[in-house]
Amino acid sequence: MLDADFFRRWMTATATAVDREAERLTALDSPIGDADHGSNLQRGFTAVTAALEKEAPATPGAILTLAGRQLISTVGGASGPLYGTLLRRTGKTLGDAGEVSEEQLTQALRAGVDAVMALGGAAPGDKTMIDALVPAVDALGDGFAAARAAAEEGALATTPLQARKGRASYLGERSIGHQDPGATSSALLIAGLAEANGE
Amino acid sequence: MSDEAVGDKAVRDEGKGERLVGLVLVSHSAQVAASVAELAQGLAGGGTAVPVAPAGGTEGGGLGTSAELIAAAAASVDRGAGVAVLTDLGSAVLTVKALLAEGDELPAGTRLVDAPFVEGAVAAVVTASTGADLAAVEAAAAEAYAYRKV
C-alpha cells in the first residue's frame, strides 16, 4: 500500500528532478516553444514543496490536490493548468483514503490523464505530454520502473512527430525533429514515482 | 456544470436590466488586456456602467497567465448577474478552464466565452450595457466570429 509519505516523496523527487533538468527543459522549449518550460515548472514545483511543508496534508488525495492547486496558480504557462489538472483529478479520484493500492493509483492517474486530454484537447501522437503519460499509465501494472521506462520512451518518440497542439503546432513541419518539452517533463514526473518507491 | 446551472438561475432571478453582466479580459500581455478593455468601453459609448476588468500577464508583469489575477478580476466585476471571461490563447484558455473546474475559484455564474478577443469584447460590453443577461452577452460575443472582413 502507498501512504501519504510515498506521495510526499513523489512530489519532492519530481521537484528535485525539475530543478536539475530546468535548463534542459527550457532549451527543448526554445526551438518550438517560448523557452520558459523549465523555469515555469521550477517555480511551480518549488511552490508545491513549500505548500506541502506548510500545510502538511495527511492523505494521498489531499497531497495531490494541494500540489495541483499550487501548479495552476504559480506556473504562468499552459503547463500549469495541465499538470495542475492532472494532479488534482488524480488526487480527487483517490478520495480521502489514508493509504491506496498501486491499482487504485493507476486508475486515478488514468482519470487524471483523461482530464488533461479533455482540457487541452490533445490525443496520443499530437507531440504533447500525453505521449509520455498514456504509455506510462498503460505500463503501471508492471510496476513503477516499467512506467518510468515507458514514459521516457514515449518522450523520445515525440521527436519525429509534427506538433498538433499548442504553440508548437503553428510551426507545422518545422516542429519535426525536436523532442517535446512537455513529454520530457512528464517523464520526470513518472520517474519521481519510481524514485519515491526506492527504485 | 452545476456551477453553470446555479449561475443561470441567479441570472434569471435577478431580472433583466437590474444588474449588469461583468466582463474579464485575459491576455498573455497586461498591456493587451488593459487596452482591449479601454477600447471596448470606449466603443460602447462614454459612461457605460459595464464592469470590465483586465487580467493580463503574470503577477510579476511578464508575459503569461496568472490564476490569481484572473480570480481577482472576476471577483471585482461580479454584480450577481454572471461574469463573461474572454481570453486570447493557450494558457489563458487552459487556466480559465482549470479554474472553472475547481468550482470555487471564480464567482458563481462565471463562464468562459468562446469568442474573438477584440471583436468579442466590444460586442460583449455593448450587449451587457443594455442590461442583457449572461447568455445574451455570450451569444453576442460568439457571433463576432461570423463577422467577415473581406
Residue A76 and residue B68: Cβ atoms within 8 Å? no
CB B112 within 8 A of CB B87: yes
Tell me which H or E stretch contains B110: strand B110-112
Distance in angstroms (rounded) separating the CA atoms of residues A17 and A97: 28
Distances (CA, A) of B52 to A138, B27, B44, B66, B136: 46, 14, 12, 17, 17
Return the percentage of chain A with pLDDT > 70, whole number: 100
pLDDT surpasses 70 at A134: yes
Q: So what's the pLDDT on residue A62? A: 97
pLDDT confidence of residue A137: 98
Q: Residue A196: which of A69, A63, A79 has the closest Cα?
A: A63
- Quick: pLDDT tens for A83-124: 999 999 999 999 999 999 999 999 999 999 999 999 999 999
- DSSP, collapsed to helix, strand or coil, labels residue B105 as coil
Q: Return the CA Rg of chain A.
A: 15
Q: How confident is the model at residue B18 (pLDDT cuts 50, 70, 90)?
A: low
User: DSSP string spanning A82-114?
Assistant: HHHHHHHHHHHHHTT-SEE-HHHHHHHHHHHHH
Disruptive mutation site among B66, B69, B91, B104 for chain A (greatest number of A CBs within 10 Å):
B91
C-alpha cell at A132: 509520455
CATH number for the domain spanning A46: value is 1.25.40.340
Please give the tally of structural domains in chain A: 1
- Cβ contacts of B68 on chain A, cutoff 8 Å: 73
Reported as a pLDDT band with limits 50, 70 and 90, residue A71 is: very high
The pLDDT confidence band at residue B17, using thresholds 50, 70 and 90, is very low
Q: Looking at the predicted structure, is the pLDDT value of residue B2 above 80? A: no
- CB distance B58–A119 less than 8 Å? no
- Other CB atoms within 10 Å distance of the CB of residue B94: 26
Which set of grid coordinates corresponds to residue A5?
509519505
Q: Which residues of A touch B101 (CB under 8 A)?
A: 85, 88, 115, 119
Structural domain including A123 reads 2-196
- Angstroms from A91 CA to nearest CA on chain B: 13
pLDDT tier at A32, thresholds 50, 70, 90: confident
Q: What is the pTM of this model?
A: 0.86
- Half-sphere CA count of A193, side-chain side, radius 13 A: 26
Cell of A186: 512528464
Backbone angles phi, psi at A158, to 5 degrees: -80, -15
**CB within 8 A of A103, min separation 6: which ones?**
none
Which of A75, A82, A86, A169 is the best mutation test for B, with the most CBs of B within 10 A? A75
Distance between CA atoms of B65 and A191, rounded to whole angstroms? 28
Would an 8 Å CB–CB cutoff place A121 in contact with chain B? no
Q: Give the model's pLDDT for residue B102.
A: 77
Find where cell 522549449 sits.
A29
Mutate to test the interface with B, among A37, A73, A88 (most CBs of B within 10 A): A73
Pairing of strands A2-3, A99-100: antiparallel
Q: Which CATH topology does B2-146 take? A: Rossmann fold (3.40.50)
Cell for B15?
431580472
